[in-house]
Structure 1
Amino acid sequence: MSAKKGTAALLAAAVLFLAACQSDGTAGRDAPTGRATGRGGGTPDDRKVSGLRGITLPSWNTDDYSSPEAAGYLRQIAATGARWVTFTPTWYQGRVTDSDLRTTDETADDDSLRHIIGLAHAAGLKTMLKPHVDLVRGGDRAEIRPRDTDAWFAAYERFITHYARLAADTGAEQLAVGTELAGTSGDGRRWRRVIAAVRGRYHGPLTYAANYDEYQKVPFWKDLDVIGIDAYWPLSGKATADVARLRRAWQPITEELAAFAARRDRKILFTEAGYVSQRGTTTAPYSWTISKRAGEDEQAAAYEALLATFAKKPWWAGVCWWMWDDWPDSGETAERLAYTPHGKPAEKVLRRWWSPSSPSGDRG
């Protein structure tokens, strides 16, 4: 989910699935260590990319992750039964055609990231670092199409290898090499170069978080360990809290994902999935502002439908929900209408599915 304080980012509406693009580059992983083995089509270590039960804790300011609230948020996340937490440091560029990336006062400070990763590990949570690129004045990062492609990729490589080193230094268990950059993700040659640079600095599992209408066009999945999808598919034409109806809506999507996972020989991780507690959220899960009417029952039904649909799929690697609570004074949506499941029926759904006796896979 495109996230910037003060910006209610709306992603594109649902589109028809596009024909899959065959990847011609590979980068294998050996099972004991997860280290890159170079080209050759090796399969990923499923022990490291399966059973992810996570929640995202995004940051909107430099010191969010070192704030007094950080430890409490992590305890709350762990109490749901989650075993992973995702952190999202963000750099910015001015316009979609620009080539420079920079930090701002909304970029998580490196020391705060080290701090919260340490807190997460102490709370028994594994961590995924999922760096974002956003636009200074808001807008959809999927529209980034730099005028100088070489310069942008050079800047992007500096950005993402910075976090690869930080992930390695802190023992972060997984890293996303990019998020929803549909305007550049079709450039397989340059992205493979970026991925190789990341692997030179970080030896854990890698993914890329493609939007739901982007993933079939990404040509470098076999260079990564798991396919990442931000799973904001619209599921209904009107507001509904009918779990059975929502599960039927997931069925054709599930069939396509199963076939795609088989073709790419990779499991699929929902690097994001989420629903605001607003009436109509299932019609546009990517929208922060679908309605001014509360819809906690619809949010809970959407959580239930997703987990019930995917929990036992052998090709599904898990989900990282968007998102836990906003930091004090930073939320742009009232908590009762926001993505957070905290204190709502959706949190009860998570606790039920993620309890030790749940059917949703291993403990991650």
Structure 2
Amino acid sequence: MTAMGRTAAVFAAVAVLLVAGCSSSGDEDAPVPQDSGRTGGQPDDRKVNGMRGMTLPSWNTDDYGSPQAGTYLRQIAATGARWVTFTPTWYQDRVTDSALRTTGETAGDDSLRHIIRLAHEAGLKTMLKPHVDLVKGGDRAEIRPRDPDAWFADYERFITHYARLAADTGVEQFAVGTELAGTSGEGGRWSRTIAAVRERYKGPLTYAANYDEYRSVPFWKDLDVIGIDAYWPLADKATTDPARLRQAWQPIAETLAAFSARQHRKILFTEAGYVSQRGSTTAPYSWTVSKRDGDAEQAAAYDALLAAFDGKSWWEGVCWWMWDDWPDSGETAKRLAYTPHGKPAEQVLRRWWAKPGSSGG
């Protein structure tokens, strides 16, 4: 999901996962396959059936190094979360371009190392989920470079940079891409890119496919877990009825279960989220559904997702989009934004994630 001003009511855009993900084995307590470099608290040892995660995106170079970083991480951990995802972002000008670059909105490497260390000290596992966005706004899913060879060469430079950083900092899971539907059909090129990532990072890998993209991704066999940004519309009009929303999830869950079985991999919701606006469940991917308060609808949607997937053996959990914006960077008022912080949806998370052994727990 990208920032509203950067994509103007994005269509299921992320801003990514870290997938605050799980390992491909589904065991939250499996050893990290490389030195984590932690110096502080550790995640608790309770067994859970899936990931409990929250995304903390960055919109500026020094966000992750700001004084607010530690506060946000403590707040996230207090919900019962065990994972946090970070989303360093590079940019290209147009969907047909082949060159990626950093901008003033790209998280600085030092700030990223800083917040990963703080997360580990707060007892949170981490996922790095690098994003590509467009300087002048638009949907990253529409990126279709005129020169695919040049684009993939530059993309490999970008993604392996973060793979090395992830390895150096003990990041527990890594996403090789997010919602790049315009290129994700290029199976051979993506397989080579994934191989280059594996040379540098030895932990579990995923790709965060949009909910309308995942079935056409040809390279799941190269990854450890299937990542989906789960922005399925669940209603044709505003509703605060969790039972109705759970019912809407049922055919989706059946389809996902069958897909997981065919691919021999579990499915992680690398993103899921709802603005606290009336009608958010009709278009979960939109930052601008309405200007009317929708706290109750957001809370119902959180509850319905966790109830619909709780205990399903093929489901690896969820990373919610997103925690608070950084001071002075939010383009949507907090009362209407995706964050559950200080809203009824946060209490829903606390109830679910306090349940030992639950997939939200």
TM-score of the pair, normalised by structure 1: 0.89
Q: What is the distance in 2 between the residues matched to 1:85 and 1:59?
A: 13
Contact 1:268 1:316 in 2 (8 A): yes
Q: How big is each residue's C-alpha offset from its partner over 1:53-104, in whole Å with a ceiling of 9 and x where there is no partner?
A: 1000000000000000000000000000000000000000000000000000
Deviation readout 1:305-356 (Å, 9 max, x if unpaired): 0000001100000000000000001001000000000000000000000015
* Cα distance change of structure 1 residues 286 and 168 upon mapping to structure 2, 3 Å threshold: same
Q: Which residue of 1 aligns with 2:222?
A: 223
Structure 2 Cα separation of the partners of residues 176 and 33 of structure 1: 16
Q: Which residue of 2 aligns with 1:44?
A: none
Matching residue's letter, 2:203: G
Aligned to 2:234: 235
Q: Which residue of 2 aligns with 1:184?
A: 183
Aligned twin of 1:324: 323
CA distance in 2, matches of 1:216, 1:89: 26
Residues 49/82 of structure 1: CA separation in 2 closer, same or farther (3 Å cut): closer
Give the secondary structure class of the aligned counterpart of 2:53: strand
Pairing 1:289-328 to 2, within 5 Å after superposition: 289-328=288-327
- Report how many residues are paired: 336
Q: CA separation in 1, counterparts of 2:289 and 2:331?
A: 14
- Give 1:20's aligned residue: none
**Per-residue deviation, residues 112-137 of structure 1 (Å, max 9, x unmatched):** 00000000000000000000000000
Counterpart residue number, 1:158: 157
Matches within 5 A, 1:169-180: 169-180=168-179
Map of 1:269 onto structure 2: 268
- Cα–Cα, structure 1 residues 50 and 192, in superposed 2: closer, same or farther, change >3 Å? farther
Structure 1 residue 254 and structure 2 residue 253: aligned?
A: yes
**C-alpha deviation, 1:357, in angstroms:** 3.0
For 1:167-206, what per-residue CA distance to the aligned partner results, in whole angstroms no more than 9, with x for missing partners?
Answer: 0000000000000000000000000000000000000000
Contact between 2:128 and 2:166, CA under 8 Å: does it hold in 1?
Answer: yes
Partner of 2:8: 8
Provide the rounded CA distance (Å) in 2 between the counterparts of 1:155 and 1:173.
Answer: 25
Asked whether the equivalents of residues 4 and 134 of structure 1 are also in contact (C-alpha less than 8 Å), the reply is no
| 1:142–1:182 CA contact under 8 A, matched in 2 | yes
Post-superposition offset of 1:10: 1.7
Distance 2:142 2:58 in 1: 22
**SS of the residue 1:57 aligns to:** strand
Q: Which letter does structure 1 place at the counterpart of 2:307?
A: A
Q: Any conservation in 2 of the 1:58–1:88 contact (CA below 8 Å)?
A: yes
SS of residue in 2 equivalent to 1:194: helix
| 1:1-364 → structure 2 map (5 Å cutoff) | 1-3=1-3, 6-11=6-11, 51-357=50-356, 359-360=358-359
User: Which amino acid letter does the alignment assign opposite residue 274 of structure 1?
Assistant: G
The residue type equivalent to 1:78 in the other structure is A
SS in 1 for 2:189: helix
Q: Are the structure 2 counterparts of residues 192 and 287 from structure 1 closer, same or farther at C-alpha, using a change threshold of 3 Å?
A: same
Q: Tell whether the 8 Å contact from 1:98 to 1:147 is kept in structure 2 after alignment.
A: yes
How far 1:222 sits from its partner (Å)? 1.1
Going from structure 1 to structure 2, the CA distance change for 1:243 and 1:253 (only over 3 Å counts) comes to same
Rounded Cα–Cα distance in structure 1 between residues aligned with 2:266 and 2:273: 20
- What is the alpha-carbon distance in structure 1 between the residues aligned to residue 79 and residue 357 of structure 2? 12
Aligned residue for 1:340, secondary structure, equals: coil
Q: Where has structure 1 moved over 2 Å in runs of 4 or more?
A: 2-9, 31-35, 356-361
Question: SS state of the match for residue 271, structure 2?
Answer: strand
Q: Secondary structure at the match of 2:325?
A: coil
What's the offset of the Cα at 1:12?
6.3
Whole-Å Cα distance in 1 between the matches of residues 151 and 49 of structure 2? 33
CA distance in structure 2 between the partners assigned to 1:178 and 1:292 by the alignment: 32
| Amino acid corresponding to residue 140 of structure 1 in structure 2 | D
**Conserved 8 A contact 1:4-1:60:** no
Deviation track 1:205-224 (CA, whole Å, cap 9, x = no partner) reads 00000000000000000110
The RMSD of aligned alpha carbons is: 2.1
Question: Which amino acid is the alignment partner of residue 66 of structure 1?
Answer: G
Structure 1, unmatched stretches of 5+, are: 14-26, 36-47
1:92 aligned counterpart, secondary structure: strand
Structure 2 unaligned runs (5+)?
14-23, 35-46
Preserved contact between residue 49 and residue 311 of structure 2 (Cα < 8 Å): no
What CA distance in whole angstroms lies between the structure 2 residues aligned with 1:6 and 1:218? 26
User: Partners of 2:137 and 2:31 in 1: how far apart?
Assistant: 43
Amino acid at match of 1:64: D
Matched residue of 2:76: which SS?
helix
The answer as to whether partners of 1:49 and 1:226 remain within 8 angstroms in 2 is no
- Normalising to structure 2: TM-score of the pair? 0.90
SS in 1 for 2:227: strand
State the AA in 2 paired with 1:293.
R
